[in-house]
Amino acid sequence: MALFLMILRKMVKNRWLELSLLLGLIVSVALASTMPIYTHAILQRMLVKDLETLQQDTQQYPGTHYSYVYLNGDGLDAQGKPITATDDFFTDASRDFKLPVLAATRIRATINLDLTPSDPSKVDPGPSRTADLSAMQDMEAHIRLIDGRMPAKEPVDGVYETLVAPELLGNLKLVIGNEFTINDKSLPQPVRIKPVGVFERKDNADLYWPSGYKNFRSTFFVPYELFEKDFTVGKKLKVLFGYWYYAFDYHAMKLESIDDFTGGSARIDNYLSTHFKTYTITNPALKTFKTYFDKEKRLRLMLWSLNVPVMILLAFYLFMVANLIAERQKTEIAVLRSRGASRLQMLLGYLIEGVLLGVVALAIGPWIGLYLTKMLGAANGFLEFVQRAAMDVELNREAFRYALIAVGASIVMTLLPVVLATRVSIVGHKITLARQGRMSFAHKIFIDVILMALSIYLLQSFHRRMSDLVSLGLDSVDLKVDPLLFVVPALFVLASGLLLLRVYPWLIRLVYWLGRKWWPPYLYSTLLQVGRSTTQYQFIMMFLILTMATGLFSASAARTMNQNIEDKIRYATGADITLRTMWQNDAPPPAPSGPGAPPADSGGVKELKRVQYTEPPFLLYSQLPGVESAARVFRKQAATVTIGKEVLETDLMGIDTDAFGRTAWLRDGLLDHDFYAYLNVMASNPRAVLISRSVADELQVQPGDKVSVGWSGVDGSTAIVYGIIDYWPSWNPNPALGSGETAANKETKTKVPHLVVGHLSFIQNNLAVEPYDVWLKMKPEASSQALYEALKQKNMPITEIHDTKQQLVRSKNDPFQLAINGVMTLGFLIAAGISFIGFLLYWVLSLSGRILQFGVLRAMGVSFAQIVGMLIVEQLLTSGAAVLIGVLTGNLTSELFVPLFQLSFDASTQVPPFQVRFDPRDQLNLYLIVSLMMSIGLLTLGSMLSRIKIHQAVKLGED
């Protein structure tokens, strides 16, 4: 108890330091807890969004589970159990999904049976009629009668009344009221049926209807209860097919529900595999679910990687504050050690102090982390926030586990200075005070050199891997991505800072030596102070270096990732919107296939006639709402380019140079000359073509050479090479994914893409007229929706459309993109806040420890203005130098290591090449923060200096 009270009194005595330490602990805990909270929240959001996208793309409801089985002839399963046992199983298994059931049904069906008119005089017996009898549970509640009436619940005069769809009447050439007989040798007696009503679905969007169960052109529907009683149980007909269908509410699905959903589906799969020889399960969502576990792992790795620089900064802050506490108490610790206190007792006291602060941080930190996660979800770019729908965030067990780990690690970090302090006796402490110019421990063991060597090694490793990925067209799974590569920037910043601080004292001494004869007294004193006590300043300098470098790296990484993803989307599409329409042509209809198809002609090989196309009007596209310019772009993938006897397969693009230049998008700096210069050169000759460098290298072609361009079925035509290009809008020069060697096949030659760009008029006049794409450049404020509505109103037969703006919006909602923007922004803000607090704390404590020195200087006649000048120079030589080093280190780190993030993407599709971006606004923000921080610090120090009374400091008078 006495120890506990002593600890509390000591904490109260150093309350500002303890509060600063507590703040660091809280921020550390909050940052750690954001990772599991954010991972869970963003994957939860993306789970529902991906399922919604799946529904839009496939027109299938993702929450469905549809099972189909083939029964034995007696209607039993493989174990001899009736189908009703399977019904009971599905009723129980549906609960395993733990989701609300929006719709459910059972379906029974026979095989297709031959139908003959019961009265040939009333029904034409000529057509061959086959159909199946089916029954759907609760079907009556989901249909609307359009003719006739509902069938009776029991046979009427031995005839089973049925419902049919409108398409069946035309298909089987019958009308309602016609009676048919099913004659089959396997039946105990003939079965008579009669359609009495025609139905349609009440709502085509009703989830009751399975998406794969749409064709009713040969199905008679018998009331479900009657079907069960007479056919399933009564065996009057062989029931060979059973279907069980459930539609679950996927919007109510949580990440935790994935295991329940996949587990329920696996249980059904296991049951059907043991009870039926033939069965099928359709579950559209399973493929999406399988990717989420991999997404979760990659997202966690990404979050850890992005947070490493901030974590190092926080660790340094905690160590610095703990070291300040230990420095203020070193005399007390040394005295207690000299009087018999053991190191364990001393450490126990500080451990209890750390635990008390840790408990408070654990109670507050996760809730702050919850708020920070909401802020991450609103990030739309670096330091950009939008009113996006709030993420479904919640504190879970994993968040508290991360928080507990953060508390433990932070307490260990704060104990390190105490461990070092308890090793020193009172005599050793006094000796240490007299040796302020000694080298720091990190420099003694060459931590800076070791970390720098490790960083450079890992950087070289990265470049080797990226070279293989891009040049060989390998998938990222062919080369294992080392997670340490994402930690390299933080190691490099730390190593660079320590390395420059090793040299820094010599630079200060050089400055002092060069002007030692001219420096005024206050500058002389400052240079001596800084030059001889560099170890004293290394903590705050390293802290500022880490802050500046981390801030600049975070800003550059976020800007680079955002801009390169946007460039990649714009380049791949080629323009704001690209679309393709259906062209009229004279191609014959596709030949029928199947049992009724005519036999193939074996009379010999016939020459295929080339399809003739009719080009639709093009002017309409430039008149669409919001369109600034439109261009025709012809693409042919299986074209050839020939020179002499050398023939090379290539992509062929045909353009109108003027319209293409006004419409297409290409990033500056990708070509040897300006993009428009190439178009202007082409425009001078209708036979001019541009070729890719891969074509030039393989065929040894130079500008001015003549080549023949064509494709199968058309005669080639001569063109003249006017230029060689490395990139072109929408063309990917990198080998396709998997086109090169893999770990299993080292001998496969990499297939490099080729491109020839010519005039569309030349291609149409000399080769053939074939369908082309239409590229549109939209006005800055134009709406894509207005364009879509106009296309619909004009009945344009659009077969394919790509909208850059929509793709950019989708990329902004990608979990990895959100993580980059959110975490980098959060790291930047945390770095700025922690740096501000650490800076003020250090200098206030430093000043309070030098009151005697300033009092002596004032007593010696140094004016207040000169003392303030000393502080300003001291700030410039320490904090200013640290900021400069941080800026240089941050920029260098960004140039070297921001490209590491390419490993998060498919290297073969990373076109244009990854380019490191800097935004001057980010540096300006950092400079403003640092300037504000130093200004407030100087004002605070000046205010404290102005209140110093000399007679209290040195027991001397003003004279």
| 392 lies in the same domain as 427 | yes
Which of the two residues, 632 and 332, has the higher pLDDT score? 632
Q: Is-contact 42 813, C-beta < 8 A?
A: no
Q: Is-contact 147 163, C-beta < 8 A?
A: no
d(CA 477, CA 907): 11
What are the beta bridge partners of residue 147?
Answer: 198
pLDDT at 374: 78
pLDDT in tens, 58-80: 778 888 888 988 887 666 666 67
- Residue 613's closest CA among 572, 647, 582? 582
From residue 424, alpha-carbon distances to 6, 332, 334, 343 in Å are 22, 11, 6, 10
d(CA 731, CA 651): 9
Q: Assess if residue 583 is contained within a domain.
A: no
Place of tokens 């926030």: 385
The H-or-E segment that residue 604 falls in is none
Is the predicted pLDDT of residue 656 greater than 50, yes or no? yes
Which of the two residues, 674 and 17, has the higher pLDDT score? 674
Q: Is-contact 139 106, C-beta < 8 A?
A: no
Q: Assess if residue 861 is contained within a domain.
A: yes
Is the predicted pLDDT of residue 577 greater than 80, yes or no? yes
Is the predicted pLDDT of residue 417 greater than 80, yes or no? no
d(CA 263, CA 258): 8
d(CA 941, CA 951): 19
pTM score > 0.85 for this model?
no
Q: Is-contact 283 98, C-beta < 8 A?
A: no
> pLDDT over 70 for what percent of the chain?
83
What are the beta bridge partners of residue 639?
Answer: 650, 711
Q: Which DSSP symbol is given to 731?
A: B
| 762 lies in the same domain as 839 | no
Is the predicted pLDDT of residue 227 greater than 80, yes or no? yes
The three-state secondary structure class of 796 is coil
pLDDT in tens, 552-563: 887 887 788 888
Asked if the peptide bond before residue 771 counts as cis, ω within 30 degrees of 0, the response is no
Is the predicted pLDDT of residue 890 greater than 80, yes or no? yes
Q: Assess if residue 597 is contained within a domain.
A: no
Task: Please give the tally of structural domains in the chain.
Answer: 4
Q: Is-contact 589 597, C-beta < 8 A?
A: no
Q: Is-contact 182 112, C-beta < 8 A?
A: no
| 91 lies in the same domain as 176 | yes
pLDDT in tens, 775-797: 999 998 888 888 888 888 888 88
Which of the two residues, 342 and 807, has the higher pLDDT score? 807
pLDDT at 957: 40
**What is the band of 956 on the pLDDT scale with cuts at 50, 70, 90?**
very low
Q: Is-contact 919 822, C-beta < 8 A?
A: no
Among 15-29, 421-435, 446-460, 630-644, the range with the most confident prediction by mean pLDDT is 630-644
Q: Assess if residue 607 is contained within a domain.
A: no
pLDDT at 729: 94
Q: Assess if residue 580 is contained within a domain.
A: no
129: left (phi over 0), alpha (psi -120 to 50) or beta: beta
Is the predicted pLDDT of residue 102 greater than 60, yes or no? yes
| 120 lies in the same domain as 256 | yes
| 56 lies in the same domain as 68 | no
- Residue 695's closest CA among 661, 669, 719, 670? 719
pLDDT in tens, 674-723: 999 999 999 999 999 999 999 999 999 999 999 999 998 888 899 999 99
Q: Which DSSP symbol is given to 232?
A: I
pLDDT at 412: 83
CB atoms within 10 A of CB 918: 17
CA angle 906/911/915 to nearest 5° reads 100
* Burial class of 737 by CB neighbour count within 10 A (0 to 12, 13 to 18, 19+): middle
CA angle 526/531/536 to nearest 5° reads 95
pLDDT at 423: 64
Is the predicted pLDDT of residue 405 greater than 50, yes or no? yes
The H-or-E segment that residue 248 falls in is strand 241-248
The whole-chain average pLDDT of the chain stands at 80
The H-or-E segment that residue 210 falls in is none
The H-or-E segment that residue 181 falls in is strand 180-182
Mean pLDDT of 394-413: 84
**What is the band of 162 on the pLDDT scale with cuts at 50, 70, 90?**
very high
Contacts of 668 (CB under 8 A, 6+ apart): 675
**What is the band of 738 on the pLDDT scale with cuts at 50, 70, 90?**
low
Among 402-416, 503-517, 618-632, 857-871, the range with the most confident prediction by mean pLDDT is 618-632
Among 369-383, 429-443, 550-564, the range with the most confident prediction by mean pLDDT is 550-564
| 29 lies in the same domain as 68 | no
SS (H, E, C) 441-463: HHHHCCHHHHHHHHHHHHHHHHH
Mean pLDDT of 380-386: 69
pLDDT in tens, 578-614: 999 888 877 765 544 433 344 444 444 445 567 788 8
Our measurement of the distance from residue 139's CA atom to the centroid of its chain's CA atoms, rounded to an integer in Å, reads 43
| 122 lies in the same domain as 215 | yes
Which residue among 254, 282, 310 closes a domain?
A: 282
| 790 lies in the same domain as 848 | no
pLDDT at 959: 40
Is the predicted pLDDT of residue 926 greater than 90, yes or no? no
Q: Which DSSP symbol is given to 840?
A: H
Q: Assess if residue 389 is contained within a domain.
A: yes
pLDDT at 486: 62
- Residue 366's closest CA among 377, 355, 358, 354? 358
| 77 lies in the same domain as 18 | no
Which of the two residues, 760 and 387, has the higher pLDDT score? 760
| 564 lies in the same domain as 619 | no
pLDDT at 389: 62
- Residue 843's closest CA among 949, 945, 954? 945
pLDDT in tens, 190-222: 889 999 999 998 888 888 888 766 678 889 999
The three-state secondary structure class of 641 is strand
| 845 lies in the same domain as 888 | yes
The H-or-E segment that residue 933 falls in is helix 920-946
By residue range, what is the domain housing residue 706? Answer: 614-734+751-796
d(CA 374, CA 34): 9
| 231 lies in the same domain as 360 | no
pLDDT at 949: 62
Instruction: State residue 502 phi and psi, 5-degree precision.
Output: -65, -35
Mean pLDDT of 835-861: 73
Which residue among 255, 282, 309 closes a domain?
A: 282
CA angle 600/601/604 to nearest 5° reads 135
Q: Assess if residue 267 is contained within a domain.
A: yes
SS (H, E, C) 67-131: EEEECCCCCECCCCCEHHHHHHHHHHHHHHHCCCEEEEEEEEECCCEEEEECCCCCCCCCCCEEE
Which of the two residues, 593 and 382, has the higher pLDDT score? 382
Ordered alpha helix ranges (H), 436-533: 441-444, 447-472, 488-514, 521-532
The three-state secondary structure class of 782 is coil
- Residue 916's closest CA among 895, 889, 891, 901? 895
* Burial class of 132 by CB neighbour count within 10 A (0 to 12, 13 to 18, 19+): middle
Residue 331 tokens read as 């005399």
d(CA 733, CA 693): 9
Q: Assess if residue 454 is contained within a domain.
A: no
Ordered alpha helix ranges (H), 329-396: 330-338, 343-377
